[in-house]
Structure 1
Amino acid sequence: MTESEVLELIALYGGNSITAFTVYISFTFAFLATAFYVGHKLTTFQTIAASGLFIFSAGSSVLAETAYIQAMFAIKEQTPNVLDGMLLFSGSFWVPYMFALGSGGIVVSLYFMWDIRRQHLKNIPSK
């Protein structure tokens, strides 16, 4: 593969990873907005269903993003190119960083939903 072909593939995989991250952000924002505005009104089943759908959707986006980043750096490392030696262009940094960011965001979002519902239940007067 020529250097220009390598750089083109890196750009394509990089674009795909950014697209997957954008989808992840969209799912996360929708889940957080739902939790904030109507989370306290949802039944337990609705909460579990929304949370399950969020875990699957956002998790799929995180996995897709991680796969694209891994592919991008695998291609980069197989052929010498102008990106070699660039400090911030390292798969050993970006792959675990973006996976941890996405996974952590899912956990924090689920905690947010739980916290919204817990606060509401504490404020319901007993009969």
Structure 2
Amino acid sequence: MKRRYERPSAYIEEFTPNEYVAACGDKNKVYKFECNAPEGKLYYYPNGRGKRAKKLGSYHPCQAKHEASTDDDFYDGFVDYIRNGREDEGEAVIVWRGPWHNDGHATMNLNKNEWDTNKS
């Protein structure tokens, strides 16, 4: 039985995306958090919790709602309310060193997923 010759052909289909994908990702995204930990001696863990804490000095909350890049360094830390030089229950904070890494801002909201975010 002979087969009939069919000319090769191509079909063009239009691509229609069915979900949104951001082209720029989290570029220029900022965290918005309040500097709200009670005053005391501020410490942070530059090498991670469980390592030696570094003392930044006396801390007074500025109560400002800061905007910091999600690319900035945030550290686990504590405010030593009892003034015994170590972290005790209820003293945990997240520390942001400021835009020039020479300051200390602390928030008691330990879950960064709950922080407001925005594009700068």
Q: TM-score, normalised by structure 2?
A: 0.27
Ranked by relative contact order (alpha carbons within 8 Å, sequence separation 6 or more), the top structure is 1
Greater share of strand: 2
Greater share of helix: 1
Q: TM-score, normalised by structure 1?
A: 0.26
